[in-house]
Every structure is written in structure tokens, then in C-alpha cells.
Amino acid sequence: MDNGSLEEWLHPSTGTGEVTEVPKILSLIQRLNIAIDVASALDYLHNHCETPIVHCDLKPSNVLLDGDLTGHVADFGLSRFLSEPTMSVSGNQSSSIAIRGSVGYAAPEYGMGSEVSTYEDVYSFGILLLEMFTGKRPIDHMFSGNLNLHNYVKTTLPELVLEISEPLLLQEGTTNVVEAHRHSRLSVRAPKIEECLTLILGIGIACSVESPTNRKDISDVASELQSIRRNLLN
């Protein structure tokens, strides 16, 4: 698509090495809009298709951005249909995939021979959300042993939210300007940005907990993110 993948915007230094005239920078509201786009896409796949679909490989490189920076979930090469109302597929379907997902984004139960479920997409979305607003990859060299992106954010909220958030988002708070729509701008005070970041990262934590059944439902996630956006733009 016109604006490539979310990966290229979150980590521009990992591109082809070509020098661009305008650095790829996503504002707070743009990131929130993209997060809502992805959550809405997953809500559609999980809850509004005739047969629920699990993407199984959600990550920044599989989120494509069009000319308006609207996020589109792409690459359904590992996706699976859920035929049972229990929202999981039979064991023989699950075992047909030796590896599901990508390192850092795959749910913990992936490596335990679990059946495919929508909970796994929710976990990947939670990690994606944490990455979008902290600027840190889940496979960053700083994460080793028991320290991962989920725990890193969880242990710092809410007191240190400004320290762990993407620096570019905090610059918006100091300049008091956030791009809300293509043709409009509005002032956002730093305290409101801090509040919104705390809520967003909190959702990312709730989505990426280890226990699948304790993760948030993606429809609730989409609604909560939309509420955060309304508060930010109010």
C-alpha cells in the first residue's frame, strides 16, 4: 500500500538504508487510529464473520497503511477458520502447523501444542500495542530471562509511563500539538497525553497476560480504544 507497513514507520532505521526527505513519524493520534483499525479488523474476523477467523501472525510488518494511514491487517498465510462455537479448532487442525506466529508476538501457549483460538490474536495485538507506544520491539536485546516487553511495561505503570513511552509522543506533549485529522490540529496538554498513554498501555498489558482466558475480548478492546480517542480529542 501507499505507506508501506507499520514496521517501516515504527522502526525506520531497519529499512533499506535509503535516505528519505521526510522521516516517517507517527503522532500519538495516528498510532491510536491505527491501533483502532487493527482491533476493529480482528473484531470483525473473530466475531462478525460467518465462520470466525484467527489471523495467527499479527505483527507490525503485517499491518499495511494506505494513503490516509488507515491500518489494514494483511498476510493470512497462517490464518485458520474456527468451525466450533468454542472458538477453537480441533486438535488435528492445530497440529498441522508446526510453528504458528512470529517470535515475540506468538502467544505462550503456541509452543505447548494448544488449539488455535482467538485468544492468541488478542495476545499478539497486546504486544503490538505495547510496541507501538513504547517504541520497543518484543525481541529487543534488553529483554532476556524473565524480562519481556509485557513485564517491562507492567512493572512501570502508571508511575513511570512517561519514561517508557516512545519519546516522539512525549515531544507532542511539550509542544502541545497533536495532529487530529488531516485538515485540523488541536492542543493537547501533557497530563492528558500521560493519562491516555497509561490507559493504552494498560490495555496492552491486559491483552498480553499469560493465561489465555484472562485476556480481554477484542470487541471490548476496540471500544475502549475508541473511548480513549474521544477523550484525547475532546
pLDDT in tens, 12-39: 874 455 555 466 889 999 999 999 999 9
Q: How far apart are CA 202 and CA 227, in angstroms?
A: 14
Q: What is the pLDDT of residue 89?
A: 45
Q: What is the pLDDT of residue 144?
A: 84
User: In which domain, by residue range, is 122 found?
Assistant: 6-233
Give me the number of domains the chain comprises.
Answer: 1
Q: What is the pLDDT of residue 19?
A: 52
Q: Is 57 a catalytic residue?
A: yes
Q: What is the pLDDT of residue 202?
A: 98
Question: Which stretches of the chain drop beneath a pLDDT of 70?
Answer: 14-23, 84-99, 111, 113, 170-188
pLDDT in tens, 108-141: 987 676 789 999 999 999 999 999 999 999 988 8
Instruction: Select which of 2, 57, 68, 217 is catalytic.
Output: 57
Residue 28 maps to which CATH number? 1.10.510.10
In a domain, 1, yes or no: no
Q: What is the pLDDT of residue 176?
A: 38
In a domain, 18, yes or no: yes
